[in-house]
Amino acid sequence: MRITNVRLTQLTGYLSHEGPFWEERLARPIDIYPEHHAEPPDWTPTEPDGRLRIISAFVEVETDEGVTGLGGPLSLEQAAVIGREFRPLVIGEDPRANERIWDKLYRFAVHGRKGVVMQALSGLDCALWDLKGRWAGAPVYRLLGGPTRTTLPVYASALGYSIDPERVRQRARELASQGFRAQKWFFRHGPGQGRAGMEANLAMARAAREAMGPDAELMLDCWMSWDIPYTLRMAARLEELEPRWIEEPVLPDLIEGCAEIRRAIRIPVATGEHEYTRWGIKLLLDAQAADVIQADTYWAGGITEMLKIVALCSAYARPVIAHGHSVPANAQLTAAMPAAAMPLVEYLVKWNVINQFFFANPLLPRDGVITLTDAPGLGVELDEAKIAERRELRFE
């Protein structure tokens, strides 16, 4: 079997919803500048009738045996890397030889070891695993040696919800009533907002804990927007809430700074969402900078590389809880791993409305767990009824 084509497609669809979809955003590193901290959430264009316009790219790997693999959603920038740089390298290759293809692409794009280029490699790699599963007539988790479990516990990430304490209480109760026994909430303020921002952050976290109750798991995400002194002050006050972890307190390149925080506070530290490949994750592990590693399957190198990352982390006794860009890919990988190595799946509640919008059967949690199916590959198919516009992307 040989790859005959790598097709890239841009899909446009329209999501109807009641009320504002994005109620609030998280803190960002650039928010140390007041003019940027004041910016509202603007992730998805809104049509005049209030619908969200969703634009996503997908990659399809075609073969001479008629078997096709699907990867995505991708950004247009990632699709361009696949079309311009990677496509010529994989035409004629055996799509089942994922290790060979991964190594070729990595060596070719050595200046793209992080960021958009590695994300593009990840999306293409996931498409190849989908193809391999379809060729074998089996879900990817079986090809990876699983399943170790038939259901996977999920935690709900409340990105995009209001951080007003009363609204947080309401939403946290709603998520708990849906069966989520763990929730993650996102801070809106950092060092640039001073004591007032600190108090607002604390009010949000306390409201979530009060609504969830003492037995639920609470995670708190700083999205790399704090610094060391601010984190130490906040952690001292958050400790009474007993968070399962505090996430990504400082910029990703401040590995020693993250390790310093981990040594100084009594709350576990999670990070790695914005790190790439086994080599980047090894820097975190060697520095003892994290209790939980959060590499993203669709960013850190795809399923092929995540297998190495999970094995590496297991040697350091650090669990991997993959960042939740792609629930279908993460669930396949998690299902194949021992629970100690990959204990949870992240479910970004609002982002999954968008990231799984074009799928015919989005992978949704029920009562706080995901139940696996026997669908071949990654178990995803595009829903033609949701596609308002389709445009083939050409990068000659």
Residues forming the active site: 323
The β-bridge partners of 366 are 369
- Residue 333 φ/ψ, nearest 5 degrees: -65, -45
Q: Which region holds residue 248: left if phi is over 0, alpha if psi is between -120 and 50, else beta?
A: left
Place of tokens 């790190």: 275
The β-bridge partners of 56 are 11
Q: Which region holds residue 10: left if phi is over 0, alpha if psi is between -120 and 50, else beta?
A: beta
Q: How far apart are CA 320 and CA 273, in angstroms?
A: 11
Q: How far apart are CA 57 and CA 63, in angstroms?
A: 20
Q: Nearest-CA neighbor of 380 among 395, 396, 359, 352? A: 359
Q: How far apart are CA 201 and CA 329, in angstroms?
A: 32
3-state secondary structure (DSSP) of residue 213: coil
Q: How far is CA 22 from CA 41, 67, 189, 307, 354, in A?
A: 6, 38, 17, 34, 12
Based on its alpha-carbon atoms, the radius of gyration of the chain, rounded to whole angstroms, reads 21
> Residues with Cβ < 8 Å from 137, sequence gap 6 or more?
376
3-state secondary structure (DSSP) of residue 283: helix
Q: Where are the alpha helices (DSSP H) in the chain?
A: 34-37, 76-81, 87-90, 98-108, 116-136, 140-143, 165-177, 194-212, 228-238, 255-264, 277-286, 302-315, 327-336, 349-355
